[in-house]
A and B are shown apart, each in its own frame.
Chain A
């Protein structure tokens, strides 16, 4: 399956984050580029896996500009200018973020939340916004709960609302922290569909997610990073970093149904995780 890489979409260099004295992640470097496939709008799907407490959530909070990195920089493509390959440093709000708890405004109904997410779209009239919201609500099976508050929604419904909010409000990037945890099989299917919907909307659209389900990482992602404690001079260091990168495109496994080769990759990843 032929593909090529173009504009750099995400560039992370020498990233580290420390809380006080405690370094949580360090020496994180990676680049994600726009993947182009013929006759196909192909967004990017990046998975981050690693054992608990290795710093996945921390990495995500840095990527989304919610915490300032202690060192290093994070650049994203600046799509507001016409120039190619223009980059800017990430700021809060640039990258959509759906956290582990699918947090929403507790005092806004689903409809009100989505209207709020569209508040900055000045070129849309009120009616257009309403139309857009209603379209999404029916596509995502949220019509019935449109006037309910977060405390009256199920986990899956909260998560879908949170994802639509971010689609409405952020640019091409969306980070999801453990989007598959605590969901039933049906909800997992919904999230998978959401992924393919998002990536088919625009070439630049990039989803970055973490998961404890390695199969789901291997099945959905075209690029997988394993975060873990590195072994330096035979000793375990106490900070998270990228201990392995698997490019599913290079392995010719991306955009394919889950098969025997995928299972091999799952085994490989699990072995690396056990060591880190």
Chain B
């Protein structure tokens, strides 16, 4: 028993599960007890459950689908841009452009939306492009460090097998690091997912989880807000899980 309080101690599988279970129970118990009185910060589990049903009846599934679709479209565009730039960053003339894009991640969102609003009128398209601009900067940063982390030996190995420079780029950087790209997307997904909901609630279009949050805000419906938070968290974690699963299944050599 004393072991579980000792730093760096290895414990068995059962003990680990037991610890996790106790924590979950503790959190649930805290929730029940703290939401029992008249005035409380958190809504009671019953309220949250009601929130769920309300949301479900309002078409929660469709809204989730809408957010996921937005996420997918934005990711595909952003990844394409960032990948092309990062791969080409190995060419001296392109290097500054890729570095510059990566630096732009310090730009605030408002400035970007202002200029995009001038060009784009449709709210949905606007959402996509705000996300794309935003994500490309983060993705490019991660992808650039992925490229620069490749050891010189790997390039030399390809060169010694008579690969010309373009083949080296193709074999070592492009084909040799696909699993890393998936990992980079996964690592950045948390920011994207958070941004996505925010963007959806600022630039209100027809639907999406952000739209639902905005609505719940108005009515001060606590149960609904927490229910929605849980949904957003779970959907985000599921995408995370799926990406990790894809990487491990399709790329056996991928030990990151």
Contact = CB atoms under 8 A, between A and B. Distances in A.
Contact of A106 (B159, B161, B162, B176): B176
A93 B159 contact: yes
Interface in A43-76: 61, 64, 66
A256 interface: no
Interface residues of B, number: 21
Interface stretch (A13-21, A162-170, A216-224): A162-170
B58 interface: no
A203 B112 CA distance: 68
A105 B176 contact: yes
Interface in B155-177: 156-163, 171-172, 175-176
Given A150-B253, A151-B253, A103 B157 contact: yes
Given A103-B151, A106-B176, A107-B176, A170 B160 contact: yes
Contact of A103 (B153, B178, B179): B153
Contacts, number: 62
B251 interface: yes
Contacts of A95: 160
A228 interface: no
A92 interface: yes
A61 B163 CA distance: 16
B253 A93 contact: no
Q: Which of B156, B161, B171 has the most CB of A within 10 A?
A: B161
B196 to A, nearest CB: 31
B159 A165 contact: no
B255 A151 contact: yes
Contacts of A169: 160-162
Contact of A107 (B151, B160, B253): B253
Interface string B243-256: 00000000111010
Contacts of B178: 107
Nearest to B162: A93
B160 A66 contact: yes
Contacts of B54: none
Given A149-B253, A170-B160, A107 B175 contact: yes
B161 A104 contact: no
A151 B157 CA distance: 16
Interface in A120-155: 120, 149-152
A66 B158 CA distance: 11
Contacts of A120: 162
Nearest to A99: B153
A101 B160 contact: no
A64 B153 CA distance: 13
A156 interface: no
A39 B172 CA distance: 44
Interface in B220-256: 251-253, 255
Nearest to B156: A66
B250 to A, nearest CB: 11
A162 B162 CA distance: 14
B247 to A, nearest CB: 13
A120 B164 CA distance: 12
A61 B156 contact: yes
A66 B161 contact: no
Given A97-B156, A150-B253, A165 B151 contact: no
A190 to B, nearest CB: 20
Interface in B133-167: 151, 153-154, 156-163
A150 to B, nearest CB: 7
A64 B160 contact: yes
A45 B162 CA distance: 23
Nearest to A97: B160
B161 A116 contact: yes
Interface of A: 61, 64, 66, 92-93, 95-97, 99, 101, 103-107, 116-117, 120, 149-152, 162, 165-166, 169-170
Interface of B: 151, 153-154, 156-163, 171-172, 175-176, 178-179, 251-253, 255
- 5 A-B pairs with the lowest CB-CB distances in the bound complex, closest first: A93-B162, A149-B253, A97-B160, A103-B153, A103-B157
27 contacts: A64-B160, A66-B156, A66-B159, A92-B159, A92-B160, A92-B162, A93-B159, A93-B160, A93-B161, A97-B157, A99-B153, A99-B157, A103-B151, A103-B153, A103-B156, A105-B176, A106-B253, A107-B175, A107-B179, A107-B251, A116-B171, A117-B161, A149-B253, A152-B253, A165-B161, A166-B160, A169-B162
Given A66-B159, A103-B156, 6 more contacts: A61-B156, A99-B156, A99-B157, A101-B153, A149-B252, A151-B253
